[in-house]
Amino acid sequence: LSPITPPEDDEIVADSFAFAFDIDGVLIRGGRPIPEAVQAMKVLNGENDYGIKIPYIFLTNGGGKTEAERCGDLSRQLDVEISPAQFICGHTPMSEMANKYNTVLVVGGEGEKCRNVAQGYGFKDVVTPGDIIKADSATTPFRKLTPEELKNSKERDFSKVTIEAIFVFADSRDWAGDLQIIIDLAMSKGGRIGTLSETFDEGPPIYFSHNDVVWSAAHENVRLGMGALRGIVEYTFKEVTKGKTLETHAFGKPQIGTFEFATRLLKRWRKNEHGLNAPPNTVYFVGDTPESDIRGTNQFNEKAENDWYSILVKTGVYQDGTVPAYKPRVTVPTVLDAVNHGIEREM
């Protein structure tokens, strides 16, 4: 393949390569764009020496909003139009499980947002920790619902409800209360609230939207993420059951399934947005977290039909001067350097 397709509608598109971007620590930090990210988007959209547009998608472990809402935020932050058709967040692949379970507990995020996201995915009956606390305030001794939470939480008789699965969609806003409720269900008779199993092996499956123990936010040092809660859940279950093991599941990077999902999205995006039918030879993945971004890209590269090329940046979790736990193909200072590196390799 030549790196350039013939001009069509005045647009020259790179057809042999594409980019995929992590968000936190690469493009955004603490809700603000990393300065070089805005320029990197412009370069991808044709402001480069060759006047070519380069297809790209986003692949973040973050979440807590609908894909459309998050893309609206990103578009404003990066000063470029970003479509949900080029975006995957931690919980996006959970949408494929909407038909598998009837009643599910959805944990994490602000207010009712994650319930709305889950319903948008097609989950039929979505319970939140707020619903459970509303039904029995003794569930969480130190957590009282605010008047707004009380109003939004659903009134229901949990004696007739079976929670078939637990999905942690986004970071918990109340680790202690959410931990209590997850452990209660993990120890229950088949997901029935208020019951206690005799064997502790019949709780509902528990899915986390990713496993990042730390991530890069506004603070100069990394902050604790959902992977830390996952570890606490598994540790606590072992303690309270006197040695039973709880196996939970994680979506997101570095899971191969997430990269397969990204491959399908990139294929659709390149076809529908750019009219490209053949897969790219190389996908440059730009990330800041060796344990999820670099590990996942390198692992996926071993089985992918094309070359997934990992690029580590120094603007997030990875600290310059340390040895990354998983080795990238190249390390560069910022996302702008990553984009330029890919273009130079190709052209």
Contact 191, 175 (CB under 8 A): no
Nearer to ligand G3P, 19 or 215 (CB): 215
Q: In what order do the strands lie in the sheet with 307-313?
A: 87-88, 56-59, 17-21, 282-287, 307-313, 330-332
Which of Mg ion, ligand G3P, none is residue 60 near (CB under 5 to 8 Å by kind)? Answer: ligand G3P
Nearer to ligand G3P, 60 or 299 (CB): 60
Out of 24, 67, 149, 171, the only residue in the binding site for Mg ion (CB under 5 A) is 24
Shortest Cβ 25–Mg ion spacing (Å): 4
Cα–Cα distance, 282 to 154 (Å, whole number)? 48
Contact 324, 291 (CB under 8 A): no
Nearer to ligand G3P, 12 or 214 (CB): 214
Shortest Cβ 138–ligand G3P spacing (Å): 31
Which of Mg ion, ligand G3P, none is residue 299 near (CB under 5 to 8 Å by kind)? Answer: none
String of DSSP letters for 252-314: STT-HHHHHHHHHHHHHHHHHHH---SPPSEEEEEES-IIIIIHHHHHHHHHSSSEEEEEEES
Cα–Cα distance, 170 to 210 (Å, whole number)? 9
Contact 233, 248 (CB under 8 A): yes
Which of Mg ion, ligand G3P, none is residue 310 near (CB under 5 to 8 Å by kind)? Answer: none
Nearer to Mg ion, 153 or 298 (CB): 298
For residue 61, the SS3 value is coil
Which of ligand G3P, Mg ion, none is residue 346 near (CB under 5 to 8 Å by kind)? Answer: none
Shortest Cβ 75–Mg ion spacing (Å): 19
Contact 53, 12 (CB under 8 A): yes
Nearer to ligand G3P, 215 or 308 (CB): 215
Nearer to Mg ion, 61 or 140 (CB): 61
Write out the residues near ligand G3P by the rule CB under 6 A: 22-25, 60-62, 171, 210, 212, 215, 225, 289
Contact 260, 279 (CB under 8 A): no
Which residue's beta carbon is nearest to the bound Mg ion?
25
Return the percent helix, strand and coil in the chain, to nearest 5.
40, 20, 45
Nearer to Mg ion, 101 or 215 (CB): 215
Q: Binding string to Mg ion for residues 105 to 134, with x set by CB under 5 A, is what?
A: ------------------------------
Shortest Cβ 327–Mg ion spacing (Å): 17
Q: What is the DSSP letter of 204?
A: P
Does 324 bind Mg ion (CB under 5 A)? Our answer is no
- Residue 334's CB is within 10 A of a number of other CB atoms, namely 19
Does 171 bind Mg ion (CB under 5 A)? Our answer is no
Would you tell me which residues interact with Mg ion (CB under 5 A)?
A: 22, 24-25, 288-289
